[in-house]
Structure 1
Amino acid sequence: MLHHQMIRQDFGFRVQRFGGFYTCLVLSILSFLSPILMVIIPQLPIYTFRTSQLRCDVECDGLLISLSFKLMCLAAGAWAVFYRKPRSTLPRLMLYRGFVCLLLILVGLAFWLFYIFRISEDKKRTSYKEIVSYSMCYLDALIVLHYLSLLLIHLRHQQPAFLIKIVRSPDGESSSFLIGAMSIQQAAANVLDRYYSSFGIFNPYLEELPTSRERRDAATAGGGDSNYKYFNPGQDGYGNYHEKDSRVGSPGFRNSTGRKDYGHNDLFYDEYEYERRLKKRRARLISATDEAFSHIHRINNMDNKGTSSPMDSYEVAQTIFPSIVRPLQKYLRITRQQPRHTMDSILSHLANIIHYDMSPKAFLEKYLTVSPVLQNDMERVELQSWSLISTVAVTRDLTPGVTFQLRQGDVSLMCDVITLPHYNITEALLQTPTTQSFIVDRSSHQV
């Protein structure tokens, strides 16, 4: 039962994802073939035209050549601009693309109705040259529609009109970029492109900094009293938090991340201690990696002298891997990156770096740099599902002050739309002292 439901959902998603694309593709192909069919139909034995009516003079031949050339240009332009699979599945219909498709249907129906009426009712007085001219008019209308769709769907968004500020929750990382005039759902797709290409990898385990060993011991040894902070009100009325025999306590509380809050002083020292340990383990990792890669150069020198048989990059990686793995594991542990990197992936990455003769810093870049999001192997999937939340209809264009949100699990992106100001740029002349002023100043100085 569950399997059939998943198949139905998958089929429905595929229809939603590719339905609009293939609909536009079918309409474009039918519109492209229509002028050709209009020229070919009189030559078929369906309609009994006289030989004089089917005669094509020099002007008619020129129209046919022009028709062929315009069809080739239209096909190349449509393929270069519009033939691409959709990269995002939007919740609503794109208004401008739907408007262009509606115009395409109306123009096709109008031309075909008049074409059938002229051939059926007035075929005795219709010449082949007039039919070719009629199909040429239809092709001109298609070229105009192609130009209109290029303006509405592509070029309209190129001019920057707004600034979108993105804030990620819960870590608060933010970024901003310029965007053109488009609908809210199209802006959401652009926001996700920006997110996956410029934001850092979100690590939920880093939200809880490790506390010092003394505070952990105090929290575990106190039993039920570990939920309280004790202080001793002295003579001046200010509390001393380090008196063990104090009897007055204040209940600790937990913040939004679930971590016990010990006050700004404790938080400051925890962050300071964490940064110190992080820098120390980073320095050990860099030093160990440099030493391991210098060992690679010694191995290469021995291979060049012929003292040993040459090894491939994977064997060399296996040789130096034990000297790197321990400091790397400590660094990944303190930065909470263990779930993202397995031993096999690290070894393969090291072999690839050695194969292309890259530097030690090139090997460490994958672990020391946390951006972009797509650097995370877990994010490299074919489909990313996000929920768009907006108080305004998602088919409407962006306006100043609009706010919408994108959600995926615990990660949410708050997007604020800010309008760009009008820049009033005036020209000002550079005022330089004249020769006369120099003379006056000199004379006054002498006086």
Structure 2
Amino acid sequence: MTPVPESTPDAPSERVPTATANLRPVAVSALIGTTIEYYDFFIYGTAVALVFGKVFFPGLGPTAGLMASFSVYSVAFVGRPLGALLFGHFGDRLGRKATLVASLLLMGVSTVAVGVLPGYGTWGIWAPAVLVLLRACQGVGLGGEWGGAALLLAENAPPERRGRYGAYLQLGPCLGFFAATGVFLLLSEGLSDQAFESWGWRVPFLASIGLVAVGLFVRLRITETPVFAQEAERAKAPAVEVLREHGRTVLLAGGSIMVGYALFYLATTYSLAYATEQLGIDRGLMLTLLLAGSVLKGGAAWYCAGRSDRWGRRRMLLLATVLAVGWSLLLFPLLETARTPLLALGVVGAMVVLGCLFGPVAAYLPELFPTRVRYTGVSLAYNIGGVVGGATAPLVATRLTGVYGTAEPVGWYLAGIGLASLLCLYALVETRGGDLRAPSRRLLPG
């Protein structure tokens, strides 16, 4: 199959009846909402790496306890496609705004509940069982968040700046990760190990109450997107329609971003656990490097999202994926030197590559699907990539390191995922300049 040309001058360009000035509250809403949602999601990952094995799986030992914690961590990725189907259905049937409010509430309540959940010493087996349930609810909530927020921006933005406005959405995960890592760094440095493991780790979860309140206030003030409001006919069963008519696009789009998920969770959650538990690297140092990396990741996402308006989404993603394959082979050898400059190069460099990978995605995925099933299609593609790339990566990495005694094979595993993503991207097409209101966005033969 031959992809369409990078330039599409004959593609119709919509004139969305929204002034650029009115896009600011929409951009702020998307930014704040995704920041809160990803803060909630990332604090769990950090807690897994630092303390959950001891709190909820104390009898399993360090390695088995970490594996058990990562298994619960992966439950959220199973919930994310379910959330994509659930919230995608209502987002395509009823609208983007109400659905985004519901996803934020579900995520926030689940996060606060983790913060008050007793440990294994108090509740026994019920503690990890309830943790699994709450983690699944987090996944369902996040499964409906990103796709809806991406549509909020894409369906309001002018086509020639859709990539730039999509960058606001991609800054949300960066800010959420920065906030989550920063809070844990302050607590781990300011408390004794005993206090941190006893109650300190709960503070970031409980702090989500205030953040969710702010997010709800902002989201309730926005209006429905004009592209959705002008859609004449709603899909009766969005999931059935998108899988029947656009299933190939969903799978390829999900495959194209799975390397980003795998690299993120291996460079952050797994590397944090491996460096502190196996290599004896200071916890504060690793958190500081991740904090710095999240800032540069945001800068890279902003730059690459904006450049995609000129160079094309697919071209930017192809370049970023090639960089990811190369960095996959460098990350863990650099980590295992345990030398601070090389540690910084490995971790921070990986975060910059991640920014390049995710920057154009908020514009690219919405441009692949028609309005009537866009929420479902985008959410499914994004979260399928998360399941394949993110859910299994820490488990496979822990197993590979246990078998070979080194994390170097993990880099080859990650590079293999990157090559698969390259093939998926090659089978997709360029979308820059397309009309989101066109009656059909079937870009692939079905």
Give me the TM-score of the superposition, normalised by structure 1.
0.24
Higher RCO (CA < 8 A, seq sep 6+)? 2
Higher helix fraction (1 or 2): 2
Larger radius of gyration: 1
Give me the TM-score of the superposition, normalised by structure 2.
0.24
